[in-house]
Structure 1
Amino acid sequence: MPTFRPALAAALLLAGTGAAVYARGNPMVGGAAMYANKTIVQNAVNSHDHTTLVAAVQAAGLVDTLNSAGPFTVFAPTNAAFAKLPAGTVDTLVRPENKAQLTGILTYHVVAGRMTSADIARAIRAGHGHATLTTVQGEPLTAMMAGGRLVLTDAHGGTSMVTTKDVMQSNGVIHVVDTVLMP
């Protein structure tokens, strides 16, 4: 497995929209087909719903990492998720002087290995309703089910709902989320 650079988490934000539509077996995310034989980055750059994530991944220098063999599990916030942040936050984070902070946020959306929604659900059952996922950033995310949907809780108690699950990539899996998670 490759070593992780702090900017790895940025790639998480590159994946699809909140609703997956399947065309010829490939889920549609952000108006683009997501191909299982392409990497996280190769697919994410085509999603119209992940332009902010892609820009953040580029600013953090995580493109090469997210194009590597992985595997990675990425919880990818949409543009709408980034829009929930206080005004000016994204513009501030993508400045070169804030690269370390941006990298920390992005890598907080990445877990080493390929964890499908079924894998996460098994971990939740084994944990009696909660599973702790260790992010590439180093801090934990808590996963649980609420109303039949996968919910992630960050270090500050903020929650994010998985809106599209199991978007398979050649180097991992993407789960689209509706809120940016904060370490």
Structure 2
Amino acid sequence: MVRAGLNADRLTRAAAEMADEVGMDKVTVSALARHFGVKDASLYSHLKNRRDLCVRVALLASEEMMDRIAEAVAGRSGKAALVAFANAYRGYALEHPGRYAATQIQLGPDEVGDSTGPRRSVELTYGMLRAYDLTEPDLTDAGRLLRSTFHGYIHLELSGGFGHPRAVQESWSRSLDALHVLLENWPTRPEGEEA
């Protein structure tokens, strides 16, 4: 008999909290069952398997993160929007490292379903970048640059990879200054290169 009150949403939220505490790689159906004091089999009426659980956490985290970014960038453009976007992105990742790790899971269209998080991620990124007068394929290229820069910085910060005594926040702020200058001066494509 499944314990009363257990459902996919409650299990997903518990798994997200567990991910922040112990790391996404340690979140399993068995660990979640132990957390609730039930047998693993009790959870399979709500979850298909570990992948399903991880996808659910990824979608929850993506929606939470995009809500935070949307609120931060509202009414801003240019550098102010870039800084607000980046700070909201980093803030979420530092506060919720396990959930953030889940957002890095590659999801298929059938797994995303009607979740708004992944779609809003693209919309918010492109919306912020349009203030720099970028069009495709430069929007995609700039979006990838920002994501890889933010992710790399956050990954190093979370793993203690910055050993220099200079304040990490100061380097972050200067990095955003540099990204703003780069976006304002985005290189034009060589003549003849197809868009």
Structures share a fold, TM > 0.5? no
Under a length normalisation based on structure 1, what TM-score does the superposition of the two structures give? Answer: 0.27
Under a length normalisation based on structure 2, what TM-score does the superposition of the two structures give? Answer: 0.26
Higher relative contact order, structure no. (Cα contacts within 8 Å, ≥ 6 residues apart) = 1
